[in-house]
Chain A
Amino acid sequence: MTYIAKPKFHHPGLQKNAIGFTHRDYEGRISTLCAGCGHDSISAALIETFYELAIEPHRVAKLSGIGCSSKTPDYFLGQSHGFNAVHGRMPSVLTGANLANRDLIYLGVSGDGDSASIGIGQFVHCVRRGVNMVYICENNGVYGLTKGQFSATADKGSKSKTAVNSDSPIDLVGLALLLGATFVARSFSGDKKQLVPILKAAFTHKGAAIIDVISPCVQFNNNPDSTKSYDFVREHNEAVNRIDFITPRAEITADYAPGTVETVTQHDGSVLRLSKLAPDYDPHDRAKAMAYLQERHAAGEIVTGLLYIDEEPEDLHAHLNTVTTPLNRLGEKDLCPGSAKLAEINESYR
C-alpha cells in the first residue's frame, strides 16, 4: 500500500463535466490494495463512468460486503453514500435501501468469495427480484485477503502458485442469465475501453444489471497457468461486441457498415451501439446466450461484452407496485391514512 495521499495537484488542462466536476472529484481515498490489483482499475473505470455520465456523487449509494473487492468503495466516490455490509449480505441491504429510497443510484460491489461462496444465496435472490442496481463482481478466482485459496469461481484445472483447482466453477454470468437478470455483461479490469461503456450502459439500465469483471489478483493468481491472470485473459478474451454509449442528447454522427452494428435504445433515451464482433451473437436471446457461453467456456475461451439486455426491463418496484415517491419521504398522512381508509381496505376483503 501507499503511505502518501494522492497529491491534490492536477493536470492544468483538466476538463469538467456537464455539472462542473472533474474526474478527480469522483475519487476516494488512496487504495490500500496491493500494487497492480485489478480492482483498482475497476475503481478507476467507475470514476471515469460517473464523471462521463455527469452523475452527482450524492445521488449514488455504494454497498459492499467483505473482501478485497468490498474494500474498494472507499477508493472512489468519496462524496457518495456507502454501506459496508456483513460478508455476503450486501444484496439484502441493497434491496432494503432500494425499497426505502428508489431515487438513488445503487451500486453493489462484491467479489467472487462474497457473491459466489458465502453470499450466493443472497446474490441469486436479489437478481431474481430484479432490484434496480448495478451489481459488480470483481472476480479474481481466489481469496486474496486470506492468502489466495481458490474461490468458487476458479476454473477447474486452473493453477495458482501452489495448487491446482479441482472443483467446478460457478459462472456468475450464467447464473444471472438463468435467474432473469435484465442486463448481463462480462468484462476485464485490464480493458477499460470495453469496461467503461458497459458500466455506462448498466447505470442507465432500469433493472438488475449484473457485471462480472475478471480482475487479476497480482499477488496470488497472476501466474501463467491461472485462467484469471492478465496474460491468460488477454489471450483468451472473446469479446462478442463493443459498446458505443451515446447519451440521450448527443448527436449521432458515426457511420457504420450495415449489418455490423446493432442499436439498442434504453428507457432514458440513451443509445447503445453494439459493434458485433461475433457475427451471429444476439444479446436479446437469453437461451442462445446461455448456450453460447457454455460452448465457448468448454473451448477455454472467456466471453466478454454485453451478453444480454432486455430493453424493457421491470424492477422490484414495478413488481410490488410501490408508490413513485421514495418510501423514506412519505409523511405520516400517507403512511397512516386514517381509520376510514382502513375500514375501506378491510371492506374490500369481505
Chain B
Amino acid sequence: MKPTDISNPNYFHKVVDCQWACPSHTPVPEYIRLIAEGRYSDAYMINWHSNVFPGVLGRTCDRPCEPACRRGRVEAEPVAICRLKRVAADYKDDIRARLPRAAAKKNGKRIALVGAGPASLTVARDLLPLGYECVIYDADPFAGGMMRTQIPKFRLPESVLDEECNYILDLKPVTKFGSRVESLKALLAENYDAIFVGCGAPRGRDLPIPGRKEAAANIHIGIDWLSSVSFGHIDRIGKRVIVLGGGNTAMDCCRTSRRLGGEKVDVVVRSGFDEMKASPWEKEDAMHEDIPIHNWLNPKAFLHKNGRLTGVLFEKTKAEKDESGRRRLVPTGEPDVLMECDDVLVAVGQENAFPWIERDIGIEFDKWDMPKVDPVTMQSTNPKVFFGGDAAFGPKNIIWAVAHGHEAAVSIHLMLNGKDVKDRPSPLVNLSSQKMGIHEWSYDNDVSIDLRYKVPHAPKEVTLRNVKVEVELGFDKELAFKEAQRCLNCDVETVFEDNLCIECDACVDICPMDCITFTQNDPEPALRTHLTAPAPNPTQDLYVSGALKTGRVMVKDEDVCLHCGLCAERCPTGAWDMKKFYLEPAHAENLCHR
C-alpha cells in the first residue's frame, strides 16, 4: 500500500466516526470533553455553530452518530452522544452575548425562505449576520416547522424550541408567518436575489382501503393529527386506538394517544419488528408506555357500523424474495385478524407535494415528481432557487435539514458574490499535538470501562396524564460526566512520523487492541489478513507509513483504536504523537473570515 496521506482532511475526519457520520459534521468529541470539564456553554456554542438546534436535537435527533460511534465496536453500546448534547443545552449559562448580531448594515441582497422549519432557519441564521435580508414565509403562525407541529411536547418542550428559534428570529429576518406561499412564480416575480425552499414533506400518505370513506370521521392522518394536537385543536381521542405504521411518526401518534384518553393503544405494522423505520429507542419508549407493537399484519379494510368505525381487518403477511431477489410482503393464507377500535391513526409515510411550484419556471422535476436538486450545492435547475430539508430529497430528519441549510447558505453566498457555487470552500482543519509532559496529555486518556448510562425518565403515572410533561429528565451533571468519560476521544489522532521510528516495537507491545503491526508492505487485501490482529472491517482505513530502516512499514488498523495514547507514551523517540484533529465545515458565516 502507498503511505497514507494524512494531509487529506478526510483521512482523520473518517477516524472521528461520529463527526464523519453527522450530516452537519459536528465536532462531537470536542464538545463531549467540554461537558466533562463542566464547560457547558462552550459545549453548547460548538453545537450551536454546527447544528443550530442543540437543545432540540439533544432530544429528537435521529443520531446517525451513535451507530457509527467507535465505542459500539469496542463494547456493547455507543456513547449517548445525543443526550450529552442535551446536557450542554440544559446546563449552559445565558449565551446570548456570544451569538452573532444582526448585521448593522444590510448588503442589499434579498432572500426568500419558504417554510420556517429547521432548513430555512439555518439558511437565515447563516446569511443574516452577513447583511442579507431574509424573508421567511410559513403557513403556520410560528417558526419551527415540523419541529413544532409534529414532535409532541412530551419529547420536546415548547420552551426549548422557542428559545432556539428565537436566537435566529433575534437576527431580525422579515417574518411572513401565517401566509402560505401559493405560487413560486409569483414569489420569483418579487425579484428576490435567491429563493430557498424548505417547506418540508407536508403530506401524510393515506390508506385507500375499503371503508376509508365511510369511517372517515374516526380515521386521521398521523402528521395532520399531531399538528392539530400541537396547536391545541385536538385534545382527546377514543379509548381504543389503532396506529398504522412503523415509523417515528407512528410512535409519536401512539404515545400522544395514550395521553389524550387512549387506554388501549395498539401499533400495527405490515412488516417485522426489526425492519420498522422507527428508531429502536422510540419503539422502546412506546412499549414502555404499555403500547404493544403487532407485526406482519397488513390492513385490509376499515370496518364500520352506522357510519362509525368499529375496527380494522388485517391480513397476515410474511416476507418473501421474488425472482429479482427483492423482498416482498405476501399473505400467509392464515385467517384474517380483526382488531376492534374507536379511532385509527394512519402513519404510513409522508410525501412531498409541490402544487404551488409551476412547471414552467425553469425548475425541472424527476420521474418521482421531485425537483432535481444538486446534492452538494442544493441548487435546482433554476439557479436562483435552492432546496433543502425534506423538500429536497424527501423525508429525512432535522439534522439533515440543518446540513442542507448550511450548504444552501454557502451556495447563495457564493452565487451572490459572483463565484461558482460548485467550487466548494474547504473546511477549517487543525491538527495539533496534545503533549503536555513526558506522559501527560491535554486530554484524559484513561479509558473508562463503564457501560452506557440510561437517561432517567419521569414516572409514567405523571407523564401519561399530560401531553406536555417531558418524559426524559436528561442526565444530571454527575451522570453526564460519567457518560462523557466513555467517549474515546477519537479526534485525538495517533500520528506517526516515519523518520523518527527506531522500530523498537514498544507501541506494538503496549497497544491494548493489537492495532499496530510492523511488517513487509503488501497490497491492502493481503495486508489486512496478516496484521497482529486481522483487520476485517474494510470501512475503516489502514494507516500505512513509508518504508522504515529495516524496509518494513508500520500499519495501524484504525478500526478499534481506543485513542488511549499508550503507543505515544511508550514511544522513546516521539515517532508517535497524539494530535487533536479539529474540523469545522465551511459555513457562510465563517467564509468571510478568510
Q: Are A and B bound to each other?
A: yes
Chain B residues, CB < 8 A from A192: 505
B236 to chain A, nearest CB (A): 51
Among A7, A10, A34, A44, contact of B509 (Cβ-Cβ < 8 Å): A44
CB of B96 within 8 A of chain A? no
Chain B residues, CB < 8 A from A36: 502, 504, 506, 570-573
Q: Is the CB of B447 within 8 A of A230?
A: no
Q: Within the assembled complex, what's the spacing in Å between the Cα atoms of A219 and B510?
A: 19
CB of A163 within 8 A of chain B? no
Q: Is the CB of B506 within 8 A of A9?
A: no
A8 to chain B, nearest CB (A): 5
Among B503, B505, B510, B536, contact of A13 (Cβ-Cβ < 8 Å): B536
How would residues 19 to 43 of chain A score, 1 for a CB under 8 Å from any chain B CB and 0 otherwise? 0000010000001001111101101
- Do A230 and B533 form a contact, CB below 8 Å, given A6-B566, A34-B572? no
Closest A-chain residue to B550, C-beta based? A234
CB of B513 within 8 A of chain A? yes
Please classify how large the interface on chain A is, using the bins under 10, 10 to 19, 20 to 34, 35 or more: 35 or more
Q: Is the CB of A11 within 8 A of B513?
A: yes
CB of A299 within 8 A of chain B? no
Q: Is the CB of B447 within 8 A of A9?
A: yes
- Do A41 and B74 form a contact, CB below 8 Å, given A2-B569, A13-B534? no
Among A4, A5, A8, A35, contact of B506 (Cβ-Cβ < 8 Å): A35
- Contacts A/B (CB < 8 Å), 14 sampled: A4-B564, A6-B510, A6-B566, A8-B512, A9-B75, A11-B513, A12-B73, A36-B571, A190-B505, A192-B505, A219-B572, A222-B502, A230-B504, A231-B549
How would residues 478 to 510 of chain B score, 1 for a CB under 8 Å from any chain A CB and 0 otherwise? 000000000000000000000000111110111
Q: Within the assembled complex, what's the spacing in Å between the Cα atoms of A37 and B566?
A: 14
Chain A residues, CB < 8 A from B472: none
Main secondary structure of the interface of A (DSSP, over half): loop
How would residues 207 to 226 of chain B score, 1 for a CB under 8 Å from any chain A CB and 0 otherwise? 00000000000000000000
Q: Which of chain B's residues 559-588 have a Cβ closer than 8 Å to chain A?
A: 560, 562, 564, 566, 569-573
Give chain A's interface residues, CB within 8 Å of chain B. 1-14, 24, 31, 34-38, 40-41, 43-44, 189-190, 192, 216, 218-219, 222, 230-231, 234
Q: Is the CB of A7 within 8 A of B564?
A: yes
Chain A residues, CB < 8 A from B572: 34-37, 218-219, 222
Chain A residues, CB < 8 A from B534: 13
- Do A35 and B569 form a contact, CB below 8 Å, given A1-B439, A9-B74, A230-B502? yes
A4 to chain B, nearest CB (A): 4
Q: Is the CB of A218 within 8 A of B566?
A: no
Q: Nearest 10 CB-CB pairs, A to B?
A: A36-B572, A44-B509, A7-B447, A4-B446, A218-B572, A11-B533, A36-B504, A35-B572, A7-B512, A35-B570
A187 to chain B, nearest CB (A): 13
Please classify how large the interface on chain B is, using the bins under 10, 10 to 19, 20 to 34, 35 or more: 20 to 34
B570 to chain A, nearest CB (A): 5
A179 to chain B, nearest CB (A): 32
Closest A-chain residue to B505, C-beta based? A41
Among B447, B536, B566, contact of A2 (Cβ-Cβ < 8 Å): B566
Q: Is the CB of A8 within 8 A of B439?
A: no
Chain A residues, CB < 8 A from B550: 234
- Do A41 and B506 form a contact, CB below 8 Å, given A7-B449, A35-B572? yes
CB of B445 within 8 A of chain A? yes
Chain A residues, CB < 8 A from B513: 9-11
CB of B263 within 8 A of chain A? no
Q: Within the assembled complex, what's the spacing in Å between the Cα atoms of A287 and B506?
A: 37
- Most B-side CB within 10 Å, residue of A5, A11, A231: A11
Among B506, B512, B515, contact of A37 (Cβ-Cβ < 8 Å): B506
Chain A residues, CB < 8 A from B569: 2, 35
Q: Is the CB of B502 within 8 A of A40?
A: no
Chain A residues, CB < 8 A from B549: 231, 234
Closest A-chain residue to B74, C-beta based? A9
Query: Beyond A12-B74, A190-B505: 14 further Cβ-contacts under 8 Å?
Result: A1-B439, A2-B570, A5-B446, A7-B564, A10-B512, A10-B514, A35-B569, A35-B570, A35-B571, A36-B571, A41-B504, A41-B505, A190-B504, A231-B502
Chain B residues, CB < 8 A from A222: 502, 572
Closest A-chain residue to B71, C-beta based? A9
